[in-house]
Structure 1
């Protein structure tokens, strides 16, 4: 009976069935016969069979050749072990490990390029400010700046894939977020595609970065649109889901418990198994040259993972595609809307202690701040910054420090300097979330961060916000150390 169940046949269907008809690959049968004919037995011999409905089965055979007293072969005693599910899980694990390795590489590249692009974006803007408006060189300089900004967007996508971007999560209801994007999505996908939005999670909440969730929906919608060149139907739906142990075992990386599931489905061309296996890899694309970077779905993958979620895909050639993003449910109340308005990138006269070990970034930052009226004390490493803080007789209003530096990281330096100068404001710079994130994947309370790469106006605005933000200490900075604090 076990054999009938394995191959999907009824007892009345096996009469006259030849064993060779069960093999998915004739070469497997030839190898099996050769091996058992030579040694008289095989153990854990890997073969592929095919069920009655055509479904392939991965199996291990252990068999012994049976002979009569004269040595004539009578048949085989065979034990078949179905390892189809094990092979599927192993393949998923290998894919997960590969994605993890690619993510580490992508995150490292993005981190290094953050410093380079900060300079490539910032220097042209300083040059443009000094050029007459009719100088024809301005167009070329601005082209350099705009190209660097585009490269910066690619860096942010790499950081999203590698799960190393800085999130700003809050408790949100996914239904109104999805519904609120409907108008924009209809304009994006065009009139030949029907958009059906069905928010059905009934007010269940998740903790996520709303901007990143919008990016997930946008990227999946664009992917669906491109898969339907002759039009079709795009469905976006939310629902509640309870992921159990069985689901977790079948989908490595998924966590058990209550979730909200975001489903995005299309009636497009679909994908074959080989394509499905690679769709989340960065820079992999089936589109023609110039029609995509191959980072859209890898960005979705990274955002889902960084939020503690899971993404699954179902697709067949000609049968459309469905992506399901599972995000953990929370019981907290929805966060109120933030009524704060961005601070203008204005001028100032405060004293800023700038600590950055990359000379080009440090020099650019100093020029940007000095041009806006700030006095900048410059340090190349943490020990030098500590010495300046001890020796400087006047106030220091703000510490502007990179996170990753020799000797000690920026956060430890900030701890030492705020102990030396209570009331000192702190603004960190980084392009890499591992440098600044707390245990739960979000910014620690009170940690102000300027993300690299940044433009001059971004730096000026972040400095002004850090200086003007409510907090402990004197409103205009802290006084210098007393004589006993100084080193002679």
Structure 2
């Protein structure tokens, strides 16, 4: 059981009954400074080229999307223990005298903000999508620019924001933004990139994009930028 005191450490968690899954190793453990950052997207202690830094952040995003949280216990030389806490579903006892016809369940509350997320890296789509969905946004994803254009044409009235990577095969981010601007001049757009190019940034500004995310970015930076873009005029 997770009580109110423990739940308060995790703003997205409500007190109640949880299932705990523990995964332990006998490795070299982690320093406190490393533990504080292990769930950040793109953070890794591995040498350059040997890790994406997206594994644990992806897991955290999935667990949070189910209303859960992860606890970590580790010390240098003493291995690590990860405890995944997931809320238990509460199934009511069957009614001994059920009504002849049950009332239909109420419709779920509408999600008023739909975001089209475009990135050719699946791990980034999963992590970023989970962070957005855990904050109440509805997310549809595309792996490249052409797919994103097709989705936008299909769902155009219901898409309020596009978040797109700039470096993609086939139709890249600049090509996608150019096409979107022709169809919807007032569409709110955020671009993301891991390479801060002055020439590319100038081109994006010329296309009317005013909100950017430089990879790697945190969930807090992501949500702050999304909020700013949605409230911009």
Normalising by structure 1, what TM-score?
A: 0.27
Alignment check: 8 A CA contact 2:58 2:123 kept = no
CA distance in 2, matches of 1:449, 1:386: 20
Change (3 A) 1:450 1:139: farther
CA distance in 1, matches of 2:56, 2:152: 31
CA distance in 1, matches of 2:135, 2:126: 15
Structure 1 residue 400 and structure 2 residue 141: aligned? no
Alignment check: 8 A CA contact 2:119 2:165 kept = yes
**Aligned-pair distance for 1:437?**
2.9
Counting only pairs closer than 5 Å after superposition, residues 127-166 of structure 1 correspond to structure 2 as 127=63, 130-131=68-69, 137-140=71-74
Matched pairs, number? 146
Structure 1 residue 352 and structure 2 residue 118: aligned? no
Counting only pairs closer than 5 Å after superposition, residues 429-444 of structure 1 correspond to structure 2 as 429-434=192-197, 436-438=200-202
Aligned to 2:182: 419
Aligned to 1:116: 52
Alignment check: 8 A CA contact 1:431 1:452 kept = yes
Change (3 A) 1:421 1:406: same
Change (3 A) 1:351 1:131: closer
CA distance in 2, matches of 1:469, 1:433: 23
Change (3 A) 1:421 1:446: closer
CA distance in 2, matches of 1:436, 1:116: 24
Instruction: Determine helix, strand or coil for the equivalent of 1:123.
Output: helix
Instruction: Determine helix, strand or coil for the equivalent of 1:373.
Output: coil
CA distance in 2, matches of 1:466, 1:120: 28
**Aligned-pair distance for 1:393?**
5.6
**Aligned-pair distance for 1:352?**
0.7
Change (3 A) 1:121 1:438: farther
**Aligned-pair distance for 1:116?**
2.3
Aligned to 1:390: 153
Counting only pairs closer than 5 Å after superposition, residues 161-200 of structure 1 correspond to structure 2 as none
CA distance in 1, matches of 2:224, 2:73: 26
Change (3 A) 1:139 1:453: farther
CA distance in 1, matches of 2:143, 2:154: 16
**Aligned-pair distance for 1:357?**
0.5
Instruction: Determine helix, strand or coil for the equivalent of 2:201.
Output: coil
Which one has the largest radius of gyration?
Answer: 1
Larger relative contact order (C-alpha < 8 A, sep ≥ 6)? Answer: 2
Normalising by structure 2, what TM-score?
A: 0.54
Deviation per residue, 1:146-192 (Å, 9 max, x gap): xxxxxxxxxxxxxxxxxxxxxxxxxxxxxxxxxxxxxxxxxxxxxxx
Alignment check: 8 A CA contact 2:115 2:160 kept = yes
CA distance in 1, matches of 2:172, 2:121: 14
Change (3 A) 1:131 1:446: closer
Change (3 A) 1:393 1:468: closer
**Aligned-pair distance for 1:406?**
0.8
Segments of structure 1 that go 5 or more residues without pairing to the other structure are: 1-111, 145-347, 471-488
**Aligned-pair distance for 1:121?**
6.7
CA distance in 1, matches of 2:156, 2:209: 27
CA distance in 1, matches of 2:180, 2:200: 18
Aligned to 2:230: 467
Alignment check: 8 A CA contact 1:355 1:385 kept = yes
CA RMSD of aligned residues (A): 3.2
Aligned to 1:454: 217
Instruction: Determine helix, strand or coil for the equivalent of 1:418.
Output: helix
Higher fraction of helix: 1
CA distance in 2, matches of 1:359, 1:380: 7
Change (3 A) 1:414 1:449: same
